[in-house]
Homo-oligomer: A and B are copies of this chain.
Amino acid sequence: MTVYNFAAGPATLPDPVIKQIQEELPSLQGSGMSILEISHRSQMFDNIINTAKQDIKDLMHVPDNYHILFFQGGGTGQFAAVPMNLATNHHRIALLDSGHWATRAGDEAANLGVKVDVLDSTKDQHYQELPHMPHAISADNYDYLHITTNNTIEGTAYHQLPEHGNVTLVGDLSSNFMAEEYRVEDFGLIFGGVQKNLGPAGVTVVIVRDDLVKHVDHIPSILNYELFIKKNSMFNTPPVFAIYATGLVLKWLKQQGGIAGIEALNQKKSSLLYDFLDESKLFHNNIKKSDRSLTNIPFKTDDPDLDKQVIAAADQAGLKNLKGHRSVGGLRASLYNAMPLAGVSALVDFLHHFEKQH
């Protein structure tokens, strides 16, 4: 049975990448050593990390005045690192509360002593649409504006960035990182854990504009941008395997036509499911159409028990991990880069069949 994995992350990876990892596992590049065993100070790893950086630069058209860094600790680590490194002038940031992960980012910054102004929130709308800028803001007041470009749990995404005047924009791109095109120049800083669209859990990419990185004392070294820039992300032992695996996915992404190519596929995949849901009399997605995510699609029937039946029957049919996040309920299909169109077709066929039987 073909298995399709709709998990919200860690998530499905391209088959050819899994195959390549498997083939290269006992001996990387004929070295007689596994990627799990090589030193991060070796020429082999130097090539791996620098190639991965170059491929990110190529794929996202990263300008020369931005650094590309690899951290451990996930998006949650960056919820701390970004304010510690960047909120050093006003100690005050602005935030658009678009859901769970935006809230978490704001809470972490506040806990570290930064004043967080939530400019708009769609909590009262159950985050089924995106918050927008209620008024102009200025760099005279804020170190940056934090947004979550794609809301993994709620299923919304900014396809147009909010107006942010001269305020530095910080984007948590984790769940649509390289799944949809953004202009790096529009951001002062971008971060994303790779475990959704780009690789296994264990590494987070940070892309930061050079002039924003200042010397900051009294913060943990593993969250210090200046140190990581100086040491090419190898201030301490980096997560060698996760960077290697991400590098393979980046090569695969180039073969798919880069981000433009994969975005076109992601549009097709998500439209297939949204079109079905919008026609269905049983299932529905409640997200405002212009704000719908390409990568995370929550949906439900009106009956929580029936939702459970659908999830169980889908699991039996090889359609895995469709349970929605507990805060939203129902089902959620995550259609990240490596989910093939065939997987979405199989899901839609299954849902269609279930609805007819019902």
A219 partner residues in chain B, CB cutoff 8 A: 112
Residue A328 CB within 8 A of the other chain: no
Chain A contributes a number of interface residues (CB within 8 A of B) equal to 66
Contact among B32, B75, B76, B193 for A318, CB-based, below 8 A: B32
A303, chain B: closest CB distance, angstroms? 24
A321 partner residues in chain B, CB cutoff 8 A: 39, 42
Residue A329 CB within 8 A of the other chain: no
When A25-B25, A235-B76 are in contact, do A108 and B202 touch as well, CB less than 8 Å? no
A315, chain B: closest CB distance, angstroms? 11
Stretch from A181-189, A239-247, A277-285 forming part of the interface with B: A239-247
When A36-B13, A38-B10, A201-B238 are in contact, do A73 and B222 touch as well, CB less than 8 Å? yes
Copies in the complex: 2
Contact among B18, B108, B237 for A26, CB-based, below 8 A: B18
Name the CB-closest residue of B to A174.
B237
When A3-B31, A39-B10, A40-B10 are in contact, do A74 and B72 touch as well, CB less than 8 Å? yes
Q: List 19 A-B contacts (CB under 8 A).
A: A3-B32, A5-B37, A5-B38, A7-B39, A32-B318, A72-B72, A72-B73, A73-B222, A74-B222, A74-B236, A76-B235, A76-B236, A108-B221, A112-B218, A112-B220, A113-B218, A201-B239, A202-B239, A241-B242
